[in-house]
Copies of this chain bind each other. A is one copy, B any other.
Amino acid sequence: MTNIKDIAKMAGVSVTTVSRVLNHHPYVSKEKEAAVRKAIEEGNYQRNINAVHLSKGKTQLVGVVVPFLNHPYFGMLVEGIANEAVAHNFKLVLIQTNYQENREIEALHMLKLKQIDALIICSRSCEWEIVEDYISYGPIAVCEEAGGRSISSTYIDHYKSFTKALTYLHQKGHVKIGYCLGRRSGDNSRQREGAYRDFMKKLNLPQVQGYIFHDCFNLEDGEKVVQELIRMEDPPTALLVSSDQVAAGILACCNDKSIGVPDKLALMGFDNQPISRMMNITTLHIPLKEIGRKLFLQAINANEVSHEEMSVTLIERLSV
């Protein structure tokens, strides 16, 4: 393999000049540039990218932390990130955590080691303090509110969104309202729980523990929920489901069991995934691709920390 030195020799110039040509730096005469290009051609020269990385201390790589991939939510989000990455000539390094904290720390570590130039955390598992320990090593962007912290964020306000959805359900006459969340921990869940508690309290509606479901991620989890609902003697009349996937699962199961939606049970989804459109599930649209795009831009912008709230839109369909 030829290296820059060989090329320099072949072209009769210094390595500096070759480097200049390679990097489109000014101050190279046309003749020398031509000679260098010819040598590159003839020597079939390929820059050793790892040497470039070492030298520059940059890798044009951005880490993306996701708990898992085979879920439309993250699929869309990463799609948005990936599209923007291409446009900026960056590659993505995928770090699948399955919500394991140590995997997330590993990702942060990669930032420290400069294996990646920046890190996007789509769903955080470890403490803020730990993340903050790494901000000096490179930009970090998260998909949740990080106001006040030196970490860029593009997020939606889950408290507001949840309140919006609850208001809508209430307006539609529902009083016995329950909800389904993904993982129990995490700020997002806490925000949502808070919104629920506050809302129900304010309007003096019953807060039933049994109306609350956790660990709902996929279609299959919807079945689980319906099975529990059936067993209740006084089930909720409306369910706010933090993922369209789960809502779709619930709906399908209801159809199976001839539970009328929305008459017997109203369903409000989240995300506005294709499936919700197809199954006519009323949902809150979240601009995931757009969020992904913004996250990427924040991640590669080492100069400033920014916080961007994205708004959600209620999409009325037929499940409420």
Q: How far is the CA of A222 from the CA of B274 in the complex (A)?
A: 12
Question: Is A113 a contact partner of B278 (Cβ separation < 8 A)?
Answer: no
- A275 contacts partner chain B, Cβ-Cβ < 8 Å: yes
Say yes or no: A54-B46 contact (C-beta < 8 A), given A79-B70, A91-B93.
no
Question: Is A94 a contact partner of B71 (Cβ separation < 8 A)?
Answer: no
A89 to nearest B CB, angstroms? 10
Q: Which residues of B contact A297 (CB under 8 A)?
A: none
Copies of this chain held together in the complex: 2
Q: Which residues of B contact A16 (CB under 8 A)?
A: none
Question: Is A96 a contact partner of B79 (Cβ separation < 8 A)?
Answer: yes
Q: Which residues of B contact A75 (CB under 8 A)?
A: 69-72, 75
Q: How far is the CA of A46 from the CA of B59 in the complex (A)?
A: 17
Q: How far is the CA of A114 from the CA of B48 in the complex (A)?
A: 8
Chain B residue nearest in CB terms to A61: B93
Q: Contact check: which of B86, B96, B220, B274 meets A220 at CB < 8 Å?
A: B274
The number of chain A residues with a CB under 8 A from chain B is 50
- A82 contacts partner chain B, Cβ-Cβ < 8 Å: yes
Among A50, A82, A248, find the residue whose CB has the most chain B CB atoms closer than 10 A: A50
- A10 contacts partner chain B, Cβ-Cβ < 8 Å: no
Q: Which residues of B contact A83 (CB under 8 A)?
A: 96
A124 to nearest B CB, angstroms? 18
Cβ contacts A67-78/B at 8 Å (1 or 0 each) = 011111001101
Q: How far is the CA of A78 from the CA of B110 in the complex (A)?
A: 21
A108 to nearest B CB, angstroms? 12
Excluding A48-B113, A82-B94, 12 further A-B contacts by CB distance (< 8 Å) are A50-B57, A53-B54, A54-B54, A71-B75, A79-B96, A86-B96, A91-B95, A93-B94, A94-B94, A219-B274, A220-B277, A248-B278
* 21 contacts across the A-B interface (CB closer than 8 A): A47-B113, A48-B54, A49-B110, A49-B114, A50-B50, A50-B57, A50-B59, A50-B115, A53-B53, A54-B54, A69-B69, A69-B79, A70-B75, A70-B76, A70-B78, A86-B96, A92-B93, A93-B93, A219-B274, A220-B278, A222-B278
Chain A residues near B (Cβ < 8 Å): 46-51, 53-54, 57, 59, 61, 64, 68-72, 75-76, 78-79, 82-83, 86, 91-96, 103, 110, 112-115, 218-220, 222-223, 248-249, 252-253, 274-275, 277-279
